Structure 1
């Protein structure tokens, strides 16, 4: 169970149920005996006894593990060229998953680089950075927290390292034609890379190694964001959430 039933909630549920049930009891007793005082007395006695019994019943079942299934933490790893649509889809998936009331956190490359601005972009720098992210996700998973992570992560060795480090890793390859990514270049980063102002830029002056084995592939040239998010959520519900 991801949420513990509090005593206050259990009591409120008991009173809510008993209000309806007692009303029926009072009506039945009155119809049989024609005495309102007897009907009300029966209702009061029944209400007090049943609320206490209901509370005890709820507390007992709260301690019984039979029938409960723990949702194991998972990691959604979005990878793809810059401006392929990773963050947009990941954000939408994250919002949809929050509706299932599971502990989950959103991790995006921009947020991490804002916190640690001196991270380099060489192959070695990026691979070390991915190991840091892997340790972060692993720590969150040790506390039963799932993650939705979006990183270009252009190298196969770093994605392989993430897969080994974390549990239930689901690679989502957000595929897009390089020309499509350039057309979405509202930041001007592709233009800068093409002019040589940015080095080690995936897809321009550095490689992007496509995943060989991704659990989910999303082609943003042909699939809308909402459709992609629904596909990913369905996959999680079938394999991990199972609600």
Structure 2
């Protein structure tokens, strides 16, 4: 979360004192009819009250009483390739950023660009998911929530993620293979059908549907913006109050 800096506290103090000092000068002048006395009283009060206000703010900053910690969460988007994971997750991330909470975006393509040659066999994918789980766990230890989008086709890898991280929210974006093929602007389904891509989820490898997803959205029937509203509403209700 964010910490109040000394500079911010001082500026807040000055802005408040402009209002308060003006009020003091008016009151003193109204009672005594002496402008010099009113201005002197206002100036003395200004210096003392700014110092007292700063000290008061720093003391309260150190006190935990009355503060509610926002527990970090992990939004885990899963579904077939081209089911809408990246598109919806990107928009959800932008909406959640407006809440001013520490937040990071993780996408399978970005991670594979950083760590190439991971492989797509079941064993390699499961091992890769555990790496992602450790990354999310590290971010959560620093109070950072995450919006992650990965095909993650196997139940055991999704279970491993759930066991590793806090407040894991699985968002299953449901779409049949034919619909995903129609959205295939990259031509990856065609390559998989021709045998040019192996271990491709939904074609020559399995996709095991989540059995315990917190949110299930059928992207063949639900518009992107509608899906975003549903997901953001869930996070606001359960984690950001």
Aligned match of 1:131: 130
Aligned match of 1:204: 203
Which stretch of structure 1 is more off in the superposition, 172-181 or 76-85?
172-181
Count, aligned residues: 241
How many Å separate the matches in 2 of 1:224 and 1:21? 52
The Cα of 1:32 is off from its aligned counterpart by: 2.7
Deviations 1:191-211 (A, max 9, x none): 111112111111111111111
Deviations 1:77-120 (A, max 9, x none): 00001011101111111112222222211111001111222111
Query: How do residues 1-243 of structure 1 correspond to structure 2 at under 5 angstroms?
Result: 2-242=1-241
Moved >6 Å (runs of 4+): none
How many Å separate the matches in 1 of 2:26 and 2:179? 70
How many Å separate the matches in 1 of 2:129 and 2:3? 34
How many Å separate the matches in 1 of 2:150 and 2:123? 16
How many Å separate the matches in 2 of 1:25 and 1:137? 53
How many Å separate the matches in 1 of 2:22 and 2:229? 44
Deviations 1:165-187 (A, max 9, x none): 11111100011222221111010
* Structure 1: 5+ residue stretches without partners: none
How many Å separate the matches in 2 of 1:152 and 1:81? 6
The Cα of 1:68 is off from its aligned counterpart by: 0.7
How many Å separate the matches in 1 of 2:7 and 2:117? 49
How many Å separate the matches in 2 of 1:88 and 1:172? 13
The Cα of 1:163 is off from its aligned counterpart by: 0.5
How many Å separate the matches in 1 of 2:226 and 2:17? 44
The Cα of 1:20 is off from its aligned counterpart by: 0.9
Report the secondary structure of 1:217's partner residue: strand
How many Å separate the matches in 2 of 1:23 and 1:31? 12
How many Å separate the matches in 1 of 2:3 and 2:123? 44
The Cα of 1:39 is off from its aligned counterpart by: 1.5
TM-score, normalised to structure 2, is 0.96
C-alpha RMSD over aligned residues: 1.2
* Structure 2: 5+ residue stretches without partners: none
